[in-house]
Amino acid sequence: MPITFDWSETISNLPGKPIPAAWLETKGKGVKIAFADTGANLGIASLNHLDKAGRKFFTSAPGFSVVKLTGQDAVGEAFGVAGSGHGSLYASLLAGKTPEVAPDDRDLVTGIANDAEVFIIKTTDATGEITTIKHLLAALELSANLGIEIFITGQCISRSEMQFEGITDVEINRVFNLPGVKRMFVFAPLKNRKTVAAWTDITTKNFPSHRAEVFNVAEFPEIFDQVSGSIKVQNIPFLLHGFVGKLLSKTGDSMDMDFSNSGAVTIMGGIAALALSSFKTQNAGALPGRDQFLQLLGNSCKPLPNSFGATNAPSIFKNF
């Protein structure tokens, strides 16, 4: 029996209803989002509306150019890769939409910000299996040239890979200092961590997590009482906990969400799109400053010290 799951309803029904109704009503309309991941199968029903010319790129496509905006591609998630994919799963969470004529034999997922102008950027090598710092930098620079306002990536790369890629901090600084990147709000996940010691200096060891400009998002650790001290002093503005629901695999089949940092960053990025859409409507299309936007989002989160105790219900914590 086909299922239909609505992530926007999940967000609207968070305990205490912290997300303003004015945000929810926007569905992200008027916001330009780049979703940088392993591609997505835009042939499945809930993602088919994203299959638009000029909104899908592959950083390893022949002729790819961040300047000429070439390298447009079907961006499909490689079916040869083991598992259910990655990009398709979280693209459905972010931007899934039920078609006007809904098929009665396919699973459907409604995403958080499905009226936003979403650009899919596949950031892998030609095989579809490996993402590098070089690919993510290319996606950031491309997004700057596309006028992207919110950049969401579900990928996080160890900075130890820089020496093998021939990437230096000079190149990373060049990209992050581009005017178009500086105006974007960048949301990225941390490496998934559940153990105590691994939270120490986790942001400094990974790309793009180490950048002060990035809004790092993480799954709330089960062992929070043992790692709270190390978390509080790091650049981890948002931690999410307790979300459950359905996602769409690269074959279009639904699956239970295995909540991780990728899910957390997609949820937070989607909420950010709602907030930005509402802000732009109220301010004649102007964008907020970074600190202003951080505070705006923080109004819908619980302070991190409140995270001690029972956290069974879905929750979003702020660490600032």
Identify any residues that bridge with 34 across adjacent strands, giving them in sequence order: 119, 151
Angle CA(37)–CA(71)–CA(98) in degrees, nearest 5?
A: 50
The CB-side HSE value for 225 (13 A sphere, CA atoms) comes to 4
- Write down the residue that tokens 């700057």 correspond to: 144
- Look at 146-150, 168-172, 238-242, 305-309 and tell me which has the smallest mean pLDDT: 305-309
- Write down the residue that tokens 């190149």 correspond to: 171
- Write down the residue that tokens 């809004």 correspond to: 215
Look at residue 310 and tell me whether its pLDDT is greater than 70.
Answer: no
pLDDT digits (tens, 9 = 90+) for 242-295: 999 999 999 999 999 989 999 999 999 999 999 999 999 999 999 999 999 999
Angle CA(134)–CA(135)–CA(139) in degrees, nearest 5?
A: 115
DSSP 82: S
Q: Where are the beta strands (DSSP E) in the chain?
A: 4-6, 32-37, 56-58, 108-110, 117-122, 150-153, 157-158, 185-189, 206-207, 215-219, 238-241, 246-248, 254-256, 302-303, 315-318
Tokens representing 26?
A: 């926007």
Cβ atoms < 10 Å from Cβ of 101: 7
Percentage of residues of the chain with pLDDT beyond 70: 98
**Domain spans of the chain, in order of start:** 4-318
d(CA 209, CA 76): 26
Average pLDDT for 44-57: 95
Please, what's the largest Cα pairwise distance for the chain?
53
Is 3.40.190.10 the CATH classification of the domain at 4-318?
A: no
- Write down the residue that tokens 């997505």 correspond to: 40
Strands 157-158 and 206-207: antiparallel
Where are the alpha helices (H) located in the chain, listed in sequence order?
7-12, 21-26, 87-95, 133-146, 162-165, 169-176, 179-182, 224-232, 261-282, 290-298
Q: How confident is the model at residue 86 (pLDDT cuts 50, 70, 90)?
A: very high
Helix (H/G/I), strand (E/B), else coil: 85: coil
Main-chain dihedrals φ then ψ at residue 305, nearest 5 degrees: -60, -25
- 209 in Cβ contact with 218 (< 8 Å): no
pLDDT digits (tens, 9 = 90+) for 174-205: 999 999 999 999 999 999 888 888 899 999 99
> For position 206, what pLDDT does the model report?
96
Cβ atoms < 10 Å from Cβ of 114: 25
Q: What is the pTM of this model?
A: 0.96
- Look at 73-77, 91-95, 105-109, 119-123 and tell me which has the smallest mean pLDDT: 73-77
Strands 157-158 and 56-58: unpaired
